[in-house]
A and B are shown apart, each in its own frame.
Chain A
Amino acid sequence: MATVELMGILREHAKAGPEQLGPAEGKTVADVIQALGLPADLVAFVMVNGRQRPKTYVIQSEDHVILIPLIGGG
């Protein structure tokens, strides 16, 4: 089963918790972000099993997805 984890300020901004979502398999990361009630642009990095993916990535069944906000700058 795919899991989704939120980091940092995303936890405060989300309108629903990842546990409240249905199965994430087959959805894009963008879909999941929307279902969580998060502004997409606030999610800076999407890591799936330790690799960065774009928000168009389709989540697979054993994926561990971490959503990370950009903290401050470059």
Chain B
Amino acid sequence: MLYGYGGNILRIDLTSGSVSTEPTDPKIAEKFLGGRGFGIYFLFTELPRGADPMGPDNLLIISPGPLSGTLVPGAGKLDITCKSPLTGGYAGANVGGLLTAEIKYAGYDSIILKGKAPKPVYIFVDNDKVEIRDASDLWGKGSLETEKILKDRLGEEFQIATIGPGGENGVKFACITHDFGRQAGRGGVGAVMGSKNVKAIAVRGNKSIPVADVQAFRKAARAMYKACKDSSGLQVWQRYGTAGVTTWSNEIGAFPTRNFSSGQLEGYENLSGEVMREKIVITDKGCFGCPSPCGKWSHVKKHGVRVEGPEYESTALLGGDCALTDIQDVAYANYLADDLGLDSISAGNVIAFAMECYERGILTDKDTGGIRLTFGNAEAVFAMLKKIAYREGIGAILAEGVKHASGVFGKGSEAFAIQAKGMEFSGYESHNAPSMLLSYMTCDVGAHHNRSWAITYDIQTGRDAVTPDKAARVIYLQHVRPLFDALGACRLQWVELGLDLNLYVPTIAALTGLDRSWDDLLKISERIWNLTRLFWFREVPGFGRAWDMPPARFYKEPVVSGPTKGKVMALEDVERLLDMYYEQRGWDANGWPTPQKLEELGLSEFAAAV
């Protein structure tokens, strides 16, 4: 009995239409835990080397973790892994809501999609009954409309994930949407789902998750909920969610503004969580098991839509980066991104880049089809989101991502295409935050903050310092935070409510029946991190140090305004950060894990396959 797990791996071959299951291997569960760990394990071992990310050989691996669906605060996170069409490397996107729990109740620990369906389909899972059903009546519809149709048709108990026109049209940063407003956003997971002709996934399950020691588990879980409810951060977090960060981010000059040229937007007070609350928020909406729901279901009266959000990242990239100051405009842009099925972070970043190109004369009205693509023009943001989703005109170039677009536009625009490894930076302007910049440089999907959110460390220890402890901090966070992605639970109770990490140890032990210390679990996370690194080396020709470097804006162009005006990194400091990072990770000068490190983590066999 594999305590804490759904028990089975579900495999669907969309080309042949065949469906099979096999029991989840306890040895793989022990070494890779679940969620993001299962994602990289199956991707590395089963993806044909060099597979086209938009081709039938790519795998879409959907995995809850052992905590998903259990009585643990924030037990609602799902990992979706594939080879990324945006970066050519590893994509592991994470989505909240209730789907992860439902997959466990149906009895699964991973759903692995391969091949391509001959025509549009949706995957139907009801416990042991798995069908590939016709979706030709759904293809072309928005994400949100599709979910509503399937909920009405199948019943409210079904948990649904959908793609929108963005995923159908292969936009390289297309996302997968679930529960009307949660996204597996980054890396183009929606494009991969669309490339397989899969419009939606619908899951229902009613099985119990086996618990090794029920009384011990109940006691440990109760302690976690009590600690959350007693937290001094609870009120802020429940009221605003991540939107509470907007004010602070601007005050410290870390709010992406006008394509990361500044860290504070004039008029940022109008984007605050409190303004959101006053103007648009109706309901606090949570993921499975969450006592501190960060989701804000909003009625955007100005534009007549309902949307979950905007949360901080959407406000940062669709708001600050494009210089929009009306929260209702940002919310509408968020709604469009959700329904069209575009990652709001990449979309905002790419549009801001295009705005800078337009203001510099690199793009003209002829290129934009008459749209005045200037910073602050909300109508232009709305129009560009649609052009991108439908690959119209300049939207077809932007749909390939900011790195590709800068290569097409040229004229020095590569220097301000704000990306690393081909993925657009998320919401922390990092000219004056070395730990955060290093986090973006070394994140394993490309420039994303979720693996290591280190900016508070820069604030606490000194923003100008470039010291070995900063690399150490990034590495530590890159083990702790993704551990939650492997466990299938949310890290924000720890991050925002100060929930003691030690409380997780007895809970996980009582659930799984395996006694592991926090260090044991971190070792699994380090293993996952290094295997992911090997995947990049295997799949991306010439992969190495150059791929860990940030765009030139961060070390050539000082911040133009705001609290960090004039700040810029020195290139030699950027290089030094990377050197310290590699050394502390046990990697060589090109960022390749050394044989000793691989041996230590039990990855030598995997390395031989690279």
Contact = CB atoms under 8 A, between A and B. Distances in A.
B272 A54 contact: yes
B251 A52 contact: no
Interface string A36-74: 000111101111001111110000000000001011111
B269 interface: yes
A73 B272 contact: no
Majority secondary structure of chain B interface residues (helix, strand, loop or mixed): helix
Contacts of B460: 42
Contacts of A50: 235, 239
B552 interface: no
Interface string A1-44: 00000011000000000000000000000000000000111101
B251 A72 contact: no
Contacts of B371: none
B477 interface: yes
Nearest to B456: A70
Interface in B455-487: 455-456, 459-460, 477, 481
A8 B232 contact: yes
Contacts of B242: 74
A41 B274 CA distance: 19
Nearest to A45: B236
A45 B244 contact: yes
Contacts of A46: 247
B232 A52 contact: no
A71 B453 contact: no
B143 to A, nearest CB: 24
A40 B251 contact: yes
Nearest to A70: B456
A52 B495 contact: no
A52 B459 contact: no
B200 interface: no
A74 to B, nearest CB: 5
B498 interface: yes
A52 B453 CA distance: 22
B174 to A, nearest CB: 23
Given A41-B459, A52-B272, A68 B495 contact: no
Contact of B274 (A53, A55, A70, A72): A53
Nearest to B274: A52
B498 A71 contact: yes
A72 B456 contact: yes
A52 B269 contact: no
A45 B496 CA distance: 11
B459 A72 contact: no
Nearest to B459: A41
Contacts of B233: 7-8, 45, 68, 71
A53 to B, nearest CB: 7
Interface in B208-236: 232-233, 235-236
Contact of B312 (A8, A42, A74): A74
Contacts of A51: 274
B247 A52 contact: yes
Given A7-B232, A47-B235, A70 B481 contact: no
A73 B236 contact: no
B587 to A, nearest CB: 24
B403 to A, nearest CB: 25
B574 interface: no
B607 interface: no
B439 to A, nearest CB: 10
A70 B248 contact: yes
B236 A47 contact: yes
Contacts of A40: 251
A4 B494 CA distance: 25
Contact of B453 (A7, A39, A42, A74): A74
Nearest to A13: B460
Contact of A41 (B252, B453, B495): B252
A74 B495 contact: yes
A14 to B, nearest CB: 14
Nearest to B426: A74
12 contacts: A7-B232, A41-B251, A46-B247, A54-B247, A54-B269, A68-B232, A70-B245, A71-B496, A72-B494, A73-B477, A74-B245, A74-B312
Which 9 residue pairs across A and B have the least CB separation, nearest first?
Answer: A73-B453, A72-B495, A7-B232, A73-B495, A44-B248, A41-B459, A52-B274, A41-B252, A71-B498
Given A52-B274, A72-B456, 11 more contacts: A7-B233, A8-B498, A41-B251, A47-B236, A52-B244, A53-B274, A54-B247, A54-B251, A73-B477, A73-B481, A74-B245
Interface of A: 7-8, 39-42, 44-47, 50-55, 68, 70-74
